[in-house]
A and B are shown apart, each in its own frame.
Chain A
Amino acid sequence: MSTRAEDAFSRAHASSRRAYERGRLRLAAVHAITLCLLCAGASFVLVGSRSLLWLPLTLVVWGTLEWRGVALLRGGRFGALAGIVTLALPMSVLRRCCRPGAVELVGADCCSMPGACAAAGVVIGLALACCLPLGGKRRDTVLGMVLGIAAVAPLKCSVLLAAEAAGLVGGLIAGVAAASVVRLVIGRWTART
């Protein structure tokens, strides 16, 4: 290969790589904006207008997942599903004392229930992580799922107090982590036997 051809090859390689990343970023932005619009509609109806303040976080995290792709995005899709399930969770599950009449009976202060939020998060996280196809890149898939949760679940947190929000997101992440560790151990054990 002549020097001119080698130079041309290197130049074309670098510019094609930049073009590829540019194309991915453009497509990621389109997909992230689409997901944000869907989440905005759902959270506006199910949670309220305060939740829209969290949309920039959804946009940035989902845009990053779409741009990186592969296992991170596959896990992210499951995480986003977990997040969407939390949006649909009624407040009577997250704050059991908020059932009709309960506030009047025991007072408004009892309504902060981080434990209930964490328990709901663990249940949803465990259920989804059990179905998660781990594939070859397990760490990336699990990280993607956690980021997917972090992209969508905070929309629900806008109506919860800080401790409850931390409980819900922490519960989701703990559920995912626990199920993933169990699956990894079982996978290694069955591979050995």
Chain B
Amino acid sequence: MSDAGADETTLDALMARLADGDRAAFDPLFRALHPRAVRMARLRLGEADALDAAQSALERVFERASEFTPGRPALPWFYAVTANEVHAIARRRRASLARTEGLPAATSTASPDDPEQCLVEAELRAAVDAAVGELDPASATAIAALLGDAEPPAISAVAQRKRVSRAYARLRQLLGWFHEH
């Protein structure tokens, strides 16, 4: 598990090699991504289901690895696919629980001061920042204003809404979610 802390540049290179068909990149990439997937699943689903959900999310990531575009950052793509899979599992579990017990299930079990949650949130934030960095300046400003990181631009509210909507669509595309929705 020595590759768990592999930096983003290494992950990008490994993912590009795997997309090209280089099987030698599989093992180090898996060792780097498995703990990240487990942490993310643990945050959303709790300890009991985290390992199974991480396995399912990783299957989805590696099944689509050949579609990854070399030169793009790998982590935002990985988190988008994993988050989508974990979210789908959580939704299925909630529905199943509601059917059997007639109760709404908890959406998150992690404590806000949990160091794992901080780590996942930091990486998610970095992934979003990387995707925002690829937007055009106007769209990037619109998203930054939405997140409270910048002053809203001096345009009408309608124009700002349209700009945010366009920026959001582009951001979803960059994060690879448009295939899923």
- The proximity string for A residues 22-41 relative to B, scoring 1 for CB distances below 8 Å and 0 otherwise, is 11100100000000000000
Pick the contact of A69 from B21, B26, B51, B54 — CB < 8 Å?
B21
Q: Is B134 an interface residue (CB 8 A)?
A: no
Q: How far is the CB of A18 from chain B (nearest CB, A)?
A: 8
In angstroms, Cα B64 to Cα A27, docked, is 9
- Counting chain B residues whose Cβ lies within 8 A of the other chain, the interface size class is 20 to 34
> Which single member of B20, B54, B67 contacts A70 (CB below 8 Å)?
B20
Interchain CB contact under 8 A, B34 and A12:
yes
- Report the separation of the CA atoms of residues A8 and B62 in the bound assembly, to the nearest whole angstrom: 16
CB <8 Å contact, B59 and A16: yes
User: Which residues on B sit within 8 Å (CB–CB) of A17?
Assistant: 26, 30, 62
Question: Within residues 9 to 64 of chain B, which ones have a CB less than 8 A from any CB in chain A?
Answer: 18, 20-22, 26, 30, 34, 51-52, 54-55, 58-64
Q: Tell yes or no: B157 within 8 A of A by CB.
A: no
Question: How many angstroms between the C-alpha atoms of A43 and B152 in the bound complex?
Answer: 59
Give the distance to chain A from B22, nearest Cβ to Cβ, in Å.
5
> Which parts of A108-167 form the interface with B (CB within 8 Å)?
none
State the CA gap A137–B180 with chains docked (Å).
37
Beyond the given pairs A9-B34, A19-B62, 18 more chain A to chain B contacts, judged by CB atoms under 8 angstroms and listed by A's residue number, are A4-B51, A5-B51, A12-B34, A12-B54, A15-B58, A15-B59, A16-B30, A16-B55, A17-B62, A18-B59, A20-B18, A20-B63, A20-B65, A22-B63, A23-B64, A23-B67, A68-B21, A70-B20
Between A and B, 25 residue pairs with Cβ closer than 8 Å are: A8-B51, A11-B55, A12-B34, A12-B58, A13-B30, A13-B34, A15-B55, A15-B58, A16-B30, A16-B59, A16-B61, A18-B59, A19-B60, A19-B62, A19-B63, A20-B26, A20-B62, A20-B63, A23-B62, A23-B66, A27-B66, A67-B21, A70-B20, A70-B22, A73-B21
B interface, CB within 8 angstroms of A: 1, 18, 20-22, 26, 30, 34, 51-52, 54-55, 58-67
Chain A to chain B: the 5 pairs with minimum beta-carbon distance, closest first: A69-B21, A23-B63, A8-B51, A12-B55, A19-B59
Chain A contact residues, CB within 8 Å of chain B: 1, 4-5, 8-9, 11-13, 15-20, 22-24, 27, 67-70, 72-73
